[in-house]
Structure 1
């Protein structure tokens, strides 16, 4: 078991009232951690808190704090409330995210909000919590939720891709700094879910598609990977296995190394080459 996940430790989960965040809050509470659920909707937080308590958590071990992670002041208030309630924070899961869609010229005016929530919410969350976690002298774990779209950057939703690419780069830099800071016990991990059936991906569907994992499956894989010591927690799903993900990632990196056109996987002159590469 990772030392930060010991019984009696404290976890803060942003975006914790639904989907992967709620599944993580339930997992951590069942493991004996005290949990702070942060989300932007107070009603959903109250419902999520009752779900976690119904799983067996003591009411005093589960709190909810309405938080818009795009607001630095609210993130600071979240940290203040979590530390005041429990005395320490051992696990920070920067998980809150949105995907309203975007286009390159931002006709819908979505870019600022997407970047503020998905990228700066993670960056500021870590910047606010990590120094206090380090100062406590206790084991700590910061899990930042990224996306495969931030690595292979498929066309169609550039603001989301950029936000998640930023999370990847920031989390790599964060872990580099942490591992080179003597005398402290806080680590970072990059969580990269696959196709997960949540409100973010439902798009009007009420039943889980066969290709998707449930949030619970994804969270189980996350914490199994933490136990293995993985930094890049690249999740498969029922459609895409790790081997396929690896090939897609290698091909995307090859656009630079081999000086191909950007996003060559979707370029008509390279479509057949990519298919051959994927099947080889």
Structure 2
């Protein structure tokens, strides 16, 4: 799919970051957008910067709410008449915590948004995507944390590995159809995800945000461009950033030994200490 004129594109998490950039870039290509974000103010800000002809529908809700997702899908199909591309982009994370000190609630919240949100969105829109004779496209955003186990981030890792597993399974099942199923693995992207994490202390949050921003290699605009290019080229798997490409290579070439390299780099003994 390369001509996006009048195509209906659904994007969750469109209030900032990659989602906002996707909305702007698809709008520039003539697409009609159906946008979501949990933050209504941020969603409205994205909406206002779009050309009027690109504004299809918008709705502020939590993608972890199944009824809201299903209702949104029905309204988009009824109101806009078709669904061509769905990008399940919304996601969140929590404070880095060693597994031995982590709490069940951390997993429940992250998995509800990052994994169930993707599953809800995929299942709700799949019937409408499959209506397209020329082929629809479903894009689910995983992460490099869906490629390797990063210490201190178990809830996020679990959710992103889950997105990968769900998407790859669906892709195999859809190989005999005209539905394009894409799994995206961004590396470090300069977005607000780190700033939206709740920390016990402002000092610890500031330290983490500063570290994240130094390590983030790719802008949200570039990430969106790579995703759209991947859709246009018919890709089923999209890696974003040199860090993502490196991690993908090392985990595929050394699936049983990359952990030794990771532990030498990260000094894992610090993940046995209680969080500050």
Q: Same fold (TM over 0.5)?
A: yes
Query: How much does 1:211 deviate?
Result: 4.9
Structure 1 Cα separation of the partners of residues 40 and 95 of structure 2: 25
1:132 aligns with 2:134: no
Structure 1 Cα separation of the partners of residues 244 and 34 of structure 2: 33
Given candidates 65, 69, 73, the residue that maps to 2:63 is 69
Assess if the C-alpha contact under 8 Å between 1:152 and 1:248 holds in 2.
Answer: no
Structure 2 Cα separation of the partners of residues 201 and 254 of structure 1: 30
Tell me the secondary structure at the aligned position of residue 155 of structure 1: coil
Aligned position for 2:188: 195
**Which gives a bigger RCO, structure 1 or 2 (Cα 8 Å, sep 6+)?**
2
1:86 aligns with 2:72: no
Q: Which runs of 5+ in 2 are unaligned?
A: 196-204, 268-276
1:223 aligns with 2:228: yes
Structure 1 Cα separation of the partners of residues 18 and 227 of structure 2: 10
Cα distance 1:66–1:211, how it changes in 2: closer, same or farther (>3 A)? closer
1:58 aligns with 2:63: no
Assess if the C-alpha contact under 8 Å between 1:192 and 1:233 holds in 2.
Answer: yes
Matches within 5 A, 1:35-54: 35-53=33-51
Cα distance 1:229–1:254, how it changes in 2: closer, same or farther (>3 A)? farther
Query: How much does 1:248 deviate?
Result: 2.6
Structure 1 Cα separation of the partners of residues 76 and 44 of structure 2: 16
Q: Which runs of 5+ in 1 are unaligned?
A: 256-261, 272-280
Structure 2 Cα separation of the partners of residues 232 and 132 of structure 1: 22
TM-score (norm 2): 0.82
Cα distance 1:113–1:167, how it changes in 2: closer, same or farther (>3 A)? same
Aligned position for 2:241: 236
The count of aligned residue pairs is 252
RMSD over aligned CA atoms reads 2.6
Assess if the C-alpha contact under 8 Å between 2:187 and 2:240 holds in 1.
Answer: yes
